[in-house]
Structure 1
Amino acid sequence: MNIAALPRPTQGRDHRVDFWRGIALVMIFINHIPGNLYENFTSRNFGFSDAAELFVFLAGFASAYAYGRLFLGGHRLVATLKAWRRAGVLFLVQAMLTLFAIGISCWGALVLGQGELLTRIGLASFNSAPIETMVGFATLGHQLGYVNILPMYAAMLFMLPALLFLARIDLRLMLGGSIAVWLLAGIFSIDMPNYPLPGGWFFNPFSWQLIFAFGLFCGFRRIERGYSVAFKPWLMALAGVYAMIAFLTVRFQLWSWWGALPFPTLLTGFDKTYVSLPRLLHVLAVVYIFANAAAASPLASIRRENPFAMLGRHSLPVFATGTVLSLFAQVFKFDAQPHFLFDTLIIAAGITLQFTLARYLDWWGVAQKVALGAKAERPIDPTRAAVPAESRPMAARAGIYGSQVSPNKILAR
């Protein structure tokens, strides 16, 4: 199968991807404020997987469009550098969020007089061994709680060229290789080191890459055929039954039933670090159900103007802002019990700010295009154009006060 030879899809951007990414961002924000009333209504209360699995799957799906077509079209180096550049941006955002997490916790300890705030979210190591922990922060070895998903996502982007190389041969080979890495990581407990503490990353990239790879696989399938997995009544029924089993397990705490099965923990457990099979199957089942929503359903035709799609289009700045807001909210709710009015105000204020940011970024993108279009259509001043280059001041010719060289010419050099 030669995906690179396929024509570019004519259906345009699938706003459903942005919509569900926006939904995941809202749920992540709510879940990052422990003890609030509304965390009881996020997806993790209705099945084995949560918003993080959905977000990583959608990231893989989008990567097929953002990097995959470029890579398989012969521009392998450009696609690789583009993915790694994005990983570098994630590293910088991770460093910023870590600094905010430390600063907000210290501020909360000063304001509330609660030194216990400096022992939460993994800050105890920073207090006892600050030099070693700072090395851990800089190398992504030590990650604070609620600020630990971006390193895994950056690792996905570093692994992406290898996945795309296999996909260039055959998509099934890519998926098989990803499954093999997932199995090896789960069986032999392979993970990135968590320096200076023992153990590894909470979001193990060698395990989570399988969710990313499934998203990448579905993205390529949609590019090729217009759909990821064909609708089949028996498959929809199977996905629905499994989703219901997951719901009943969570709702009635039936975890022991799964533990009684004579299989390894990787196949019957619910470990998030190594993405146990029940979690993986659950996110795939949920995605299949919602991806095949009835044509008359509002979920089947998401428009660009949808507020959650707007959030999803700007996932990184919205996620970073939501993380900072959730850290402040953790200080405000320090050891407080769920309270309807207080929790409603905090959640509503945080989500409103994230929507406001996304709306601003949408406006800013349009405003830039309008400004560039107006500049391109501006008539040339004939008196200025008639001045010979040698009669202009040397500084102007050298570009000290602002170059007049076209960006296209710069790129062509």
Structure 2
Amino acid sequence: MNAVNNNQRRTEVDLIRGIALLFIVVDHVNGSVLADYTIRNFTLFDAAEVFVFLAGYSAGAAYLAMEARVGASAARRRLRRRGWEIYKAFVLTGLLMLLFGFLLAMCRIPAPAVRATEAPVFMAQPLETLLEVVSLARQPFVSDVLPMYAVFIGLAPLAIRWSRAQPLAFVCGSVALWLMAPALLPLLPSSEARGWSFNPFAWQLMFGLGLIARLRPDFVLPQQPIVRWAFTISAVAVALAGVALAYLWMRPHVYEAWLPAWVPSMVFPLPKQSLAFLRVVSFLGLAWLVYLAIRAGWVEKLAGLMGPVVQIGRHSLFCFVFGAVVSVTIEGFTYGIAGGRPTRPVALGGDLVAVAMLLVIGGWWGRRKEARKNADRPVMTKGKSPAA
């Protein structure tokens, strides 16, 4: 992205992250109508890649801003505290998922979210389940992205030092760890045989790419016009190929009749847990096109028209936790009304309520934070400085 002042916050980043969080909410509602139109339907990746990449970018931006104001040591401490905050948010989200799943089960609502929240396990072994959540061994519905996010932020000071000093070595090391990720997955504590839903040894690549995009844009972005044109042409080709492959991915009946079985087996499925190669390529292609749109000022203009969505992205951790509760609640509500999988009108109504709730709570939380920040500022009197 363009070089910006270290103390300047990019509304474009908040907008994109806000949109990603809205996608995450509706994508986790079974039967959702709007989920048929989120990014996962038109690319080979989904909102999780956007969320993790922007987490890395924002971590780099926060570090630079803190370093400029109060020094590198304070910036490193702030990132470690942020990692602890994210861990606490995971525990809270996990407990809320168990609670809401339990309530749905008690109400005998036949929603798939009941099992996804791991409420049946909790009801059978409550104490053991709680201990597994606290130890990261069990990661209920939606909350599963937060443990690796906490680890990444906690280790960000080390990654920042390495990426700033040796960007090429940092990228090569990140790629090497990504390649070894499937073999390293069993090292993580997990109550499930398949391990964590998001393998952090793989997903650190997405976080690292976001980090270095903010810290060393001179290393990431090509300078020669001909190279930039080549990047753009390649990105358009990748984006179009992603649309075609995403269409086929969700409609196997289209290609099964005329393609040899070994062809789709080489492309599909695209494992999310280990961050499949085509997911990364598809994301990078679209990311370059979005970067060009940001340079042209289009995304900033859009952000001016979508203030509530910007607020969701600006307060992403709070909105993520709230959004997880909204996903389970709306699914329970629509399945409860329909007595099973909801009809499209009922599901669409639920979607609209979910989106409205997130927009309202994001705006309210943003105003609350701003009011608190203003209250904490020293009062200026005429002719005197705050220190007078």
Q: Which interval holds the TM-score relative to the shorter structure?
A: 0.7 to 0.9
2:91 corresponds to which of 62, 71, 95: 95
Which has the larger Rg?
1
- Equivalent positions of 1:7-406 (< 5 A) are 9=5, 12-68=8-64, 75-112=71-108, 118-186=114-182, 188-191=183-186, 193-222=188-217, 228=221, 232-253=228-249, 260=262, 270-293=270-293, 298-299=298-299, 301-303=301-303, 306-307=306-307, 308-334=309-335, 336-372=340-376, 375-377=379-381
2: CA distance, partners of 1:370 / 1:262 = 57
Answer whether contact 2:82 2:154 (CA < 8 A) is retained: no
- In structure 2, the gaps of 5 or more residues are none
- With normalisation by structure 2, the TM-score equals 0.83
Q: CA deviation at 1:123?
A: 3.5
Q: How has the CA–CA distance of structure 1 residues 326 and 268 changed in structure 2, closer, same or farther, with 3 Å as cutoff?
A: closer
CA contact (8 A) 2:42 2:246 kept: yes
C-alpha root-mean-square deviation of aligned residues, in Å? Answer: 3.5
The number of residues matched between the two structures is 371
SS in structure 2 at match of 1:344: helix
- Larger deviation, residues 141-150 vs 115-124: 115-124
Q: 1:368: how far off?
A: 3.4
Question: How far 1:197 sits from its partner (Å)?
Answer: 3.0
Report the alpha carbon displacement of residue 243 of structure 1 after superposing the two structures with TM.
1.6
Q: What amino acid is the match of 2:315? A: H
Q: Distance in 2 between matches of 1:283 and 1:57?
A: 10
Post-superposition CA distance 1:244-280 (Å, at most 9, x none): 11211121237887984699x7x98611111011001
Residue deviations 1:17-64, cap 9 Å, x none? 111001101100110101111111111111110001011111111111
CA 1:71–1:375 in structure 2 vs 1: closer, same or farther (change >3 Å)? closer
Output one character per residue of 1:324-366: Cα deviation in whole Å (capped at 9) or x when no partner. Answer: 1111112123373353332232222222222222222332344
Q: Distance in 1 between matches of 2:39 and 2:313?
A: 17
Distance change in 2, residues 1:258/1:365 (3 Å): farther
Q: Which amino acid is the alignment partner of residue 283 of structure 2?
A: V
Tell me the amino acid that sits aligned with residue 198 of structure 1: A
Higher helix share: 2
Q: Tell me how far apart the structure 2 counterparts of residues 125 and 194 of structure 1 sit (CA, whole Å).
A: 17
Q: Give 1:123's aligned amino acid.
A: A
Closer/same/farther in 2, CA of residues 16 and 236 from structure 1, 3 Å limit: same
Shift of 1:193: 3.0
Question: Structure 1 residues 40 and 319, CA, compared in 2 at 3 Å: closer, same or farther?
Answer: same
Tell me: CA distance 1:127–1:362, structure 2 relative to 1, closer, same or farther (3 Å). Answer: closer
Higher mean C-alpha displacement, 272-281 vs 68-77: 68-77
| Larger relative contact order (CA 8 Å, sep ≥ 6) | 2
Task: Return the offset for 1:285.
Answer: 1.0
Q: So what's the TM-score if we normalise by structure 1? A: 0.79
CA distance in 1, matches of 2:163, 2:113: 46
TM-aligned CA distance change 1:11 to 1:115, over 3 Å: closer
8 Å Cα contact 1:164-1:174 kept in structure 2: no
For 1:133 and 1:372, locate their aligned partners in 2 and report how far apart those are by CA, in whole Å: 40
Deviation at 1:152, TM superposition (A): 1.5
368-377 vs 149-158, which moves further: 368-377
Q: Distance in 2 between matches of 1:341 and 1:55?
A: 29
**Residues 236 and 285, structure 2, Cα contact 8 Å, conserved in 1:** yes
**CA positional deviation for 1:141:** 0.9
Distance 1:366 1:117, change over 3 A: closer
Moved more, 243-252 or 119-128: 119-128
Query: How big is the shift at 1:111?
Result: 2.2
Structure 1 runs not aligned, ≥5 long: 1-6, 381-406, 409-413
